Chain A
Amino acid sequence: MTENNTTQQDIKHRDDHVIKKLLSTVGRPNPIFKIWIIALLVIIFVGCFAYYRQLRFGLIVTSMRDYTSWGIYISNFVFFVAVSLIGSLVSSILKLAKVKWSYPLTRISEIIAVAAIICAAVIIIVDMGRPDRFLNVIFYGRIQSPIIWDVLVIMTYLIISVLLLYLPMLPDIALCRDRLKNISIWRQKMYKILALNWQNKPGQLRRLKKTSTILEIMVIPVAFAIHTITSWLFATTWRPGWDSTNLGPYFVSGAFMLGAAVIIIAMFFIRRSFRLEDFITNDHFDKMAKILVLLSLVYLYFNINEYLGPAFKMVGVEGEHITELFSGDYATMYWLVQIPGLMLPILVMLFKFGRKPFVVMIVSFFVLMGAWFKRFLIVIPSLQHPYLPIQDVDESYLHYYPSWEEWAITLASFAGVLLIITVLLKLFPIIPIQEYINHQDNGEVQSTDK
């Protein structure tokens, strides 16, 4: 009896300790953090100015012209859609597969997913020639158009992602409400409202568990759909490099690989700036690196499929397109994407030494860079090889170097993603506390004093 009591107390004591530690990241004042936010805001401000110029003068401020009629806005959009896929990878696929070590990463990955999908939606509006007519999409929407499919699926994914972030967080928000006393009034109020009167009642817990499971299952087809449909924006046309039945799985596998890299980078910097070494361990890096290798191999497979057939046949414009990529104007970028962006991660991370946090983070950066340029290579060169030759046009129509406005807006979209992530990380506990405790009670946690 007494023994039982002490363990009870021990557990309670230990839980208190964990809660305190994990809640301490919430809203911790920090000068570097302020500088970071200001820097992001400055970048966003410059982007807004560039967008103001675009609204005023039209898309002429970009380097897009007839022929190269889509540019880095679209490639960046595809990139962010790809990033948003990690939400489903970590928070649902791994979770449903009962991979125990992954749960401290669920909230981080959901936050990134939400931030990326919001910015993807914004970028697509930036690309429109007539953003003032956005509502036409609702008034006159034609369900036959892949753009409408994309709009619908992005909205669905956004809603599910927000719910998947928010609902499992309810117990933690309740903790913030109950335990964080010396914070500003508005934040106390915010937690109170957001907690939706959560009291850890058995009924509430049961319903939450059910809802979460439903959402976790639902998000998987939607996540696949969002990226597949984005690939259909291209695959439904006759452009070389787009006119391929491989494009859907190619995009999805690429997105998974990118997603794993993004989560590794996020883990590295979050662990460092919020001192979460006890919760995000070296072991996490090792395991995520292994996942990244696996996903890279899958992507490599689709990548070979994408190029081998056309490169073997070298038919017409498709052949021109391949030549341009392999040895033409885009060769440097193409091989940068293929070698450091795809081969290197596989080779380095096969070895144990290559799965140390710092190395993994650097390699993930290469993957990230490769993935961004890969999206560029998907969108732009294809447009420059139409069936009929490009003649009688201004020299500027033959190339595409994004203008400063395009770069500014693109950078601002990155800053936007980072800002949303930072704010959410600051406002809410990063590691799901309740879940952590549950897992600990079940004795499923690896020793935290590694």
Chain B
Amino acid sequence: MNASAAPLVEVRGVSKRYPGVLALDNASLAVSPGEIVALTGENGSGKSTLSKIIGGAEQPDGGVVLVDGAETVIANPATALKLGIVMISQELTLAPQLTVAENVFMGRLPRRGRVIDWATVRRRAREELAALDVHVDVNARVGDLSVELQQEVEIARAVSSKARLLILDEATSSLSEHATERLLELVREQAKRGVAVLMISHRMPELYSTAGRAAVLRDGKMVGTVPLPSTPESQLVRMMVGRELNDYYGSRDCVPGDVVLQVRDLASADGALAPTSFEVRSGEIVGIAGLVGSGKAQLGMALGGAIAATGDVRVNGSPVTLGDPRRALGAGIGLVPDDRKRAALLPTRSVAHNMTLTWLPKLSKFGVVPTRTEKRRVKEAIAEYGVKTSSPAKLITQLSGGNQQKAILGRIFALDCPVYVLSEPTRGVDVGSKSQIYALLQKLTESGAAVVIISSELPELIGLADRVLVCFQGAVHGEVSGEQLQEEVLNAIAVSGHVHSEEPS
């Protein structure tokens, strides 16, 4: 370890202003070779902005950036790359129409004379990926891969480009637990070799198992740096949110009522989900767990009509036409899909128009949107769901990821549906907002909704759900509730389809 060495990258007093917000306010931070620093803070506290400045994607309005102790202007990501600064974010930067091999070597394709040496490209890509234990066909088109594999390819590219500073901006937020563990292992490995790492994640266990230090941003200001893992989580959280955070998952005061959602032999047309049956009562939260590819994502999509499916789904006894999101919404199933960017956001529209999109049929009279009412409803929803934005007219893509998610959740929660199907509802959301979202969910459930939560975060399922169904290889392999509702049990079913009685530990 080399934590006492001269910092590889240091920022001193940087500020950055966007229209209406001071995203960074005189923030300073140093990262030394071999050190893993966690950059923490609530959504919108300026973490991505700081990483973008170091990664050359944004320029500070004030302050300086030092690389190897010398004042440097990182004018663009290409300059950063030359300096050995590689940024990996949740927004993938791979070219979807190119192959895996092309992506790994993009911008630095090995040549023989003036022509690209494709055989070498493929061979070396295969080697690089194998070294990281990533099993993927180097000739596959990246766009055809799962998000997880894409993220691994992205990391392979970063590692193979000999990074000196790795910036991981919520790189794990779209990964499964297993893939996350592998990525973190890789990061620790790189750090041992002297690479400096700046990581952003909202999952506390990740930070505690990986980072040696946590820097905390609040409202663009650097509040302080604390050692990890010796600092208690509660203290770190308090620094982030500026207040005490107890009763994280909240509680609800209701007894499950009548069956609201009846699912019989629901199967996806693509075969990823075998016929599945279950029921959800009003006032009940049912969790769905499982690894990536276990069919849990398809279960949510099928319920929301997003994909073609067969079977029988009923809400309050009336059958729902499958495979049509409009019918599902009409029948009272509110779906929040897991892939925010692909399936939920309108990137060219304002926060307000993103939120009202789903309310239009209810809001409008004779096809006309009453803008006054609309403005009021949006304002109320922004306040109620805690969306941090300087104005409802702001482009939604200018919000931080967690606030985008809150806007997306808010537009569905405001519908008063009898059934909610939420896929990874807190992906990329900070602890403070998570706690807010959980409280909203509890309230929703108390008021009689039947809620299905699909999540890869087991603590979340255990903290919220009355019972959890575990998917394994495309089918539900068990229902866990009460005393049994523990991570070990859920994990066991998720990886093997049944509970081991004599699991070696």
**B and A form one assembly:** no
User: Which residues on B are within 8 Å of A, measured CB to CB?
Assistant: none
